[in-house]
Amino acid sequence: MEKNYLHADHETPIYQQWESSGAFQPVAHSKNTKAFTIIMPPPNANDPLHIGHAMFVALEDILIRFHRMLGDSTLWLPGTDHAGIETQFLFEKKLKKEDKSRFQFDRETLFQLIWEYVQANSTTAVEQLRRIGASADWSRQTFTLDPKIVKIVLNTFSELYTKNLIYRDYRLVNYCPKCGTAFSDLEVKHVEEKAPLYYMKYGPFTIATVRPETKFRDTALAANPKDPRYKDFISKTLEIPGLLGPITMTVIADEEVDPEFGTGIMKVTPAHDPHDFELGKKYNLPVTPIIDLQGRMDMRWFLEQDHLNPKYRARAEKYHGKKVAQARQLIVEDLKEDGLLSQTDENYTHAVGVCYRCGTVIEPLPLPQFFIKVKPLVEPVLKALKQKETTVIGAGHDKVLKHWLENLRDWNISRQIVWGIRIPVWYSAAKNPDLEITFLDTQKKRISGKLATLLKEYSLSEIQAQLQELQAPISAHFEVSATSPGPDYIQETDTFDTWFSSTQWPFATLQANQPDDFQKFYPTSVMETGYDILPFWVMRMLMMGIFKTGKVPFYTVYLHGLVRDQKGQKMSKSKGNVINPLVIIEKYGADALRLALVIRSSPGLDKSVGESDFKSMRNFTNKIWNAARFIYMDVEKKIDLTATKPGDKAFYVKLHNVVKDITQQLSDFRMGMAAETAYNEFWHWFCDQAIEDAKNANISQKALLDGLITFLKLLHPFTPFVTEAIWQQLQQLDHQEMQRLMGSKKLITTQWPL
RNA sequence: GGCCGCUUAGCUCAGUUGGUUAGAGCAUUCGAUUUACAUUCGAAGGGUCGGGGGUUCGAAUCCCUCAGCGGCCACCA
């Protein structure tokens, strides 16, 4: 044995041995084996790994190796996610560098290009997981766009639809004009913003608003029925003068209007405000949008009027096509000019919704989209949690989950992107002449228009082949089907929210693999992931899992925290404090990386690590190596392993207690504690005391060897490489009694000490 | 505005049914060395466990309250 443990020499060959020996595959079930299953949270297929991935690998691999050694039929099923929006935008960035844009391709071609791009990068993530030491069953590796998975996902959609849990509705959705797609409520971040609150003269009233640009096509005014100031106006229809001429509106009375806010009377803009939209529904008001999907003013309704006053026309032309923020400035100036702005509260702060990924202000825009009715899916989850069919481990996040479930609103699953699973909805061309179509003609020119009009010039098959996107009116006739119902049909161009597929991951991966995997390994044992995706993923997996299988998808949820830097600060590229796990592996070894992340970590709480942590854990791996080396050199001398010494009895009692403690801690999912116990007991008891005692002949060499073998097993889940490397070094010694004590040729598949 | 969490040594953090002198890593100081390991060993200093109140024979741990920090949620125009 070398004097120091040189991780770089051992890690790759050891990993290859493990994998080629089939150690990562579950042993066959028998009467005495229990199943232990973890479905790996799938990293994005084309992304390189970051330190957070190392954290989940470390924690999950500890549990997997522990249970494998316990003799359970242990399956860790890995996979990757197509990560719809993230990937498509990364690809579009790449296109932009090549001076191209997605609008130059029909959707089929674009999808194919992204597919190839992901294929080219997809080995990176998986290779890196191997470097960290993930003992996952790669023979079962699954991708969210594998045909089998897609089939299952489409099937789920159709089942939800049949059971009346999916509906298509025209309503306000969270639309990001920059990303060009709608999002679910969860993807909208609310940030405090200071914005001027404008008090505008509005006929006999004054109203307060931060969004004067939406007022042109207001459909009503609303006041509280108890408000004496407006009592006499209730139900009256008035002509309100405005920047673009008078608007005729009725004053409605509604309890929800707060007399305390602003002036107590509000304008109702159903097309651009969620609250107003609901109010509009209640009072049957029309939805009259004035902002388009690019977040620009759309003044066509005014410009198309033949008798519009030239002053108003000039204004409408001025606003038309301007971004909302810019238009707002122009409008405020014009309000001042007309003497309609009575005052401005510059210190007003309110929460504004922004896109979680690009930070652009989210526009609530009316669009027909597919929604999942969540209530019927949520109730069984709440019940299961109450009955503790699933337990959530992680610093109060169980309460957060409950809060989410109780307040969840219907889930918009339509995304206006190409990279994803296309919604299996079909529109008959004959029945839907009003479909709005955008496609590329033979010259690759973008053509948009109503289907009926386009069909006068182009054939349906031409449109189908070169389709970019379509928008079906809410009244459109459609059929739900995994495959085309016939030549007359055009498929919806929206794709599913990526989470719609990843939410089905626990049962879908098992159903897509070996024929009896689902039956053997479902429900899975543990779902280990970061608390930051609790609502996006864990909550919805519970919902879909129970819906589809009637059982919870996992019994235990273990939530780890964020990895922070040495000072406890969040890692970010801009701060320059990002730790690349591969750099750490090269410098200190995978074992050091894993142990530094796990030791003394607590579920649900963030963990900070720095260079010194990796270094001291590397020192620990060297300590293991050298303790083994000391004993190795004794065994090499063909020592007698039958003699006993007076200190042996106490030694074995202590050793037994250490085994008991670590086993208990791992069984209780206290990996941070278990790692610390292993570290302290090995270094400060076994090395500092026991080995020294053995040097003084107080403890026998057999006891010491027994201790080493036991500790190699106990430490293996935490530091798999160095322990396996030592194990195999010992195996090479020609010593029968030692061979007998060790038993198995490979540590990874040896039996846990009990 | 609501909810969740955190506050323990200079720094980063452990400490699960309340029980002997409160722990680790790093940092600091002193010392050791023809040693399995200098990626080492021994020793030392350093904490009124955020403040206050309560329960208890006994509280870092349970309860109440206040404060600071962090996070999540929220359509009040």
Q: By C-alpha distance, which of A173, A506, A120, A229 is closest to A368?
A: A173
The model's pLDDT over A567-581, given as tens digits with 9 standing for 90+, comes to: 777 877 777 778 889
The model's pLDDT over A447-462, given as tens digits with 9 standing for 90+, comes to: 898 998 988 999 999 8
Q: Is the CB of A672 under 7 A from strand B?
A: yes
A210 CA from B65 C1′ (Å):
40
Which CATH number is correct for A196-347, 3.40.710.10, 2.60.120.310, 3.40.1160.10, 3.90.740.10? Answer: 3.90.740.10
Confidence check: pLDDT of A165 > 80: yes
Domain map of chain A by residue range? Answer: 196-347, 424-493, 610-749
Say what the pLDDT of residue A494 is. 94
Say what the pLDDT of residue A43 is. 92
Confidence check: pLDDT of A736 > 90: no
Q: Is the CB of A186 under 7 A from strand B?
A: yes
Say what the pLDDT of residue A140 is. 95
Chain B: bases < 7 Å from a protein Cβ: 3-6, 11-16, 23-27, 36-42, 71-77
Q: Where residue A634 falls among pLDDT bands split at 50, 70, 90?
A: confident
Say what the pLDDT of residue A45 is. 86
Residue nearest to nucleotide B41 (CA to C1'): A688
Q: Is the CB of A623 under 7 A from strand B?
A: yes
Q: By C-alpha distance, which of A385, A740, A322 is closest to A543?
A: A385
A289: CB partners within 8 A, 6+ apart: A217, A271, A272, A298, A365, A366
A328 CA from B9 C1′ (Å):
57
The model's pLDDT over A335-370, given as tens digits with 9 standing for 90+, comes to: 888 888 888 888 788 888 888 888 888 889 888 999
Confidence check: pLDDT of A727 > 90: yes
Percent of chain A clearing pLDDT 70 (strictly above)? 100
Q: Where residue A496 falls among pLDDT bands split at 50, 70, 90?
A: very high
* Nucleic chain B contacts, protein chain A, residues 404-423, CB cut-off 7 A: 407
A675 CA from B12 C1′ (Å):
17
In this structure, how many other beta carbons lie within 10 angstroms of the beta carbon of residue A653? 9
Residue A290 or A65, more confident: A65
Q: Is the CB of A274 under 7 A from strand B?
A: yes
pTM here? Answer: 0.91
Rounded to an integer, the average pLDDT of A368-376 is: 93
Residues A336 and A323: beta-carbon distance below 8 Å: no
The model's pLDDT over A237-263, given as tens digits with 9 standing for 90+, comes to: 888 888 888 888 888 888 888 887 778
Say what the pLDDT of residue A57 is. 95
Closest nucleotide to A407 by C1' from CA: B73
Closest nucleotide to A356 by C1' from CA: B72
The model's pLDDT over A62-115, given as tens digits with 9 standing for 90+, comes to: 999 999 999 999 999 999 999 989 899 989 999 999 999 888 899 999 999 999
* Topology at the third CATH level for domain A610-749: Isoleucyl-tRNA Synthetase; Domain 1 (1.10.730)
A451: CB partners within 8 A, 6+ apart: A429, A432, A433, A434, A435, A436, A437, A463, A490
**ipTM of this complex prediction, to 2 decimal places:** 0.89
Q: Is the CB of A602 under 7 A from strand B?
A: yes
Say what the pLDDT of residue A383 is. 92
Percent of chain A clearing pLDDT 90 (strictly above)? 47
H helices of A7-49, in order, are: 7-20
Residue A569 or A234, more confident: A234
Say what the pLDDT of residue A721 is. 96
Confidence check: pLDDT of A1 > 90: no
A596 CA from B68 C1′ (Å):
30
Rounded to an integer, the average pLDDT of A687-695 is: 87
Closest nucleotide to A596 by C1' from CA: B25
Q: In what order do the strands lie in the sheet with A197-202?
A: A205-209, A197-202, A341-345
Say what the pLDDT of residue A28 is. 76
